[in-house]
Chain A
C-alpha cells in the first residue's frame, strides 16, 4: 500500500506537480472564501477567462507569462468597473461582455502564434500540471507567500469590509484600497492556478472548497481552514487518480472537489439535505423537492 502511494513520488515531475497542486489548492480556498461571501463567484470566472490575451502577449514578448496574465486580469476588472459605473448596465452583464471579449481575443492570439511557436492552446485552457518546471514551482510559492501574508495581515480589516462595506467606510477604513487589495489577491491566485487547472476550471478550485466548508462551519477563518483542508485532500487525491488511471489532472482534482461538496451538501449536520429537513413533516427533503417539481409542472 505504502509502496503504491510512494511510487509516483520517485518521478521529479510528479513531485513538482504535487507541490503546485497543493499550494494552488491552499490559496484558492483562502481567496475563494472572500469571493463566495462577497457573491463575486462570477468575477472569479470573468478574471480567469480574461487573463488569456495577457498570457499570449507575454509569450510573444518573451516576458513572464504570470505578469502578462496578471496585467490582463487587472485591465479586465477596470473595464468591468468602467461599464458598470458609467452606464446603467449591471455588474454581471458587464462581466459577461468583458470576459467573453477578452477570452475571444486570447484564443485568437494564441491560435495565431501557435503556428510559429510550440505552445498549445489546450495547456492554457485546461492546464498542464505535469509540465510544470522548477521555475513554475518557485513562482507559485512566491505568489502563495504574498497571498497568505496579505490575508493574515489584513484579516480583521477584510472581514469588516467584506461583511459591512458601509460600516467599514464610515469608520474611515480605506475601502477602495481594501477592494483593490482583494482584486489583486484574486488576480494573483488565478494566475498561479493556470498551470494546474487552466482558465476554465480554476473557478471550481476557487469556490467549491470554500462553499463546501461554508456548509460545515460558521466563521470565516474556519471556512478558510476547512476549505484549505478540503482543497489539499482533493489536490492529492486528484493527482493520484490521474497518475494511476491516466486521467487528465486538472479535471480529476475538480471532480474530487465537487464530490466532497456533494457529500457536504447531502450530509452537513447543520444544513444537509438528508440531515436537516426544512420542515418537521418527517418527509425526506429531497423527495419533497421532487414532488414539488412534479406538481409545479402539472399545473
Chain B
C-alpha cells in the first residue's frame, strides 16, 4: 500500500480571468483522515479541488503528492463531481457508470478484463446497489445516483478521493453508507477530501477540516478548526453550527 503520502499545497493562487478566486493557500491533506472542505458559497471550495487536479489553470503555487506534482499522478485520483455537472438523462446504466472507473486502468483499445468486472461488482455491492446494475441512472433517486458514483470511484482502486458536495439531495441511508465507506478508506490510509457545506450534526464524521473563504481561514483537527472566531472569519456574523459541546450536555 503506497497510500501513505500526503498532498502538500504550497502558496496556491487561482484567478478566473482577472478575478482572484483563491489566494495564497498552503496546507497539507493527510492520508488516513476524512478531510472536509467548508466555507460559504463562492468561497472557492470547488475551485480548490479543481485547481489541485489541474482541471482549471493555476496562477501560482504547487500541489505535490509524494514529492511529485499531483497532476502527474492522476491515475491514482478518483473524482466525483457535483450532481449539477452530470446530465442524468444520458443513456447509460448503473453498470456503465461504474465501469468508467476502470477505463484508465484498462488502457487504450482494450476491453474490460474479468478483474475489472469483478472490481465493478464488488464496488456496487459495497454501496448496496447490485440490484440496480442494469437500471438507467436517470431512474434512480438522488441518493442512489450518488452511491453509483461512489462505486465508480471505488472501482478505480484509487489512493486519493475527491468528492464535490456528495451529500446534496441524498437520503439518510445513503449518507450513512457514504460516511462508512469514507472511514473504511481512511483506515486503509487513503486521502479523502470532501467538499461540504452542511455545518450540522454530520460534521462530526470529519476528522480534519479546511475552512476557506477565498483564502485559508483554518486547517487542522476538527475541534480546533470549529472555533467561533474561525467560523466568524469564514462565514461572517450569522452562523449556527452543530456544537459538540451542547450535544454532550444533552446526552
Contact = CB atoms under 8 A, between A and B. Distances in A.
Interface of A: 37, 39, 153-154, 156-157, 159-160, 162-164, 166-173, 214, 217-220, 222-223
Q: Which of A157, A217, A218, A220 has the most CB of B within 10 A?
A: A218
Nearest to A88: B17
Given A156-B106, A156-B112, A220-B92, A171 B79 contact: yes
B93 A170 contact: no
Nearest to B75: A172
A209 to B, nearest CB: 14
B91 A173 contact: no
B72 to A, nearest CB: 9
B85 interface: yes
B79 A37 contact: no
Nearest to A156: B103
A284 to B, nearest CB: 24
29 contacts: A37-B87, A39-B87, A156-B103, A156-B112, A157-B103, A157-B108, A159-B92, A160-B100, A160-B103, A163-B86, A163-B92, A164-B81, A164-B100, A167-B80, A167-B81, A167-B152, A168-B100, A168-B103, A170-B53, A171-B75, A171-B77, A171-B79, A171-B104, A172-B75, A172-B77, A220-B90, A220-B96, A222-B91, A223-B91
Main SS of the interface on chain B?
Answer: mixed
Contacts of B152: 167
Given A163-B87, A167-B79, A223-B91, A173 B104 contact: yes
Contacts of A170: 53, 55, 74, 77-79, 81, 162
Contacts of A159: 92, 96, 100
Given A172-B74, A173-B103, A166 B97 contact: no
Contacts of A214: 91
B62 interface: no
Interface of B: 50, 53, 55, 74-75, 77-81, 85-87, 90-93, 96-97, 99-100, 103-104, 106, 108-109, 112, 136, 152, 156, 162
Given A170-B81, A171-B75, 18 more contacts: A157-B103, A159-B100, A163-B92, A164-B85, A167-B80, A167-B81, A167-B100, A167-B152, A168-B100, A169-B55, A170-B78, A170-B79, A170-B162, A171-B156, A218-B93, A219-B136, A220-B96, A222-B91
B90 A37 contact: yes
A164 B92 CA distance: 11
A171 B91 contact: no
Contacts of B91: 37, 214, 217-220, 222-223
Nearest to A214: B91
Contacts of A157: 103, 108
B74 A171 contact: yes
A262 B85 CA distance: 31
Nearest to A223: B91
Given A218-B91, A222-B91, A166 B100 contact: no
A214 B104 CA distance: 27
Contacts of B53: 169-170
Contact of B100 (A163, A217, A222): A163
Contacts of A222: 91
Q: Which 7 A-B pairs have the closest CB atoms?
A: A172-B74, A170-B79, A218-B136, A160-B100, A171-B104, A166-B81, A170-B53
Contacts of B100: 156, 159-160, 163-164, 167-168
B108 to A, nearest CB: 7
A163 B75 contact: no
A196 to B, nearest CB: 26
B23 to A, nearest CB: 23
A217 B93 CA distance: 11
A246 B106 CA distance: 53
A160 B100 CA distance: 6
